[in-house]
Amino acid sequence: MSDDRRTPRVIEIAGDRIRDIPTLYIELDRALMRGVDWRLGESLDALNDALYGGFGTIEGDEPVTLVWHDFAASAAALGVETTREWLRRRLGDERYAQDRLVADLAALDAGTGMTYLDRVVEVIESHPNIALDRR
């Protein structure tokens, strides 16, 4: 169980380095994967695993403040167009639920769908010991 009295570790994300999904993970690796010899790859599941701690930068359930500098630049880079391309690349790949991809694309086109950055934020915010500071 997390002890809220501990001083949070501050981890910084340089949003101005993020131009697309591959550069997002390069930046996340830089910030979160210190001291390990493997990388996240382009995977929200791997990001979620890293945020649980126990390897890389985060130690278990320690309190963390994730400071995301230039968040607006990341939002632009990981917005609707990037998300649409990401979803379309998965169409026809049997590893992904095709009905879900079609629904996600339709929602995105209707202006109600989640962007890739929305998905990243959702993963981060699912960890109660991590506070996201968008700057």
pLDDT of residue 4: 58
pLDDT digits (tens, 9 = 90+) for 83-121: 999 999 999 999 999 999 999 999 999 999 999 999 999
User: What's the token pair of residue 24?
Assistant: 């997002």
Render the burial of 37-65: b for 16+ CB within 10 Å, e for the rest.
eebbebeeebbbebbebeebbbeebbbbe
> Taking the model in full, what pTM does it have?
0.93
pLDDT at residue 61 greater than cutoff 90: yes
What mean pLDDT is predicted for residues 1-24? 88
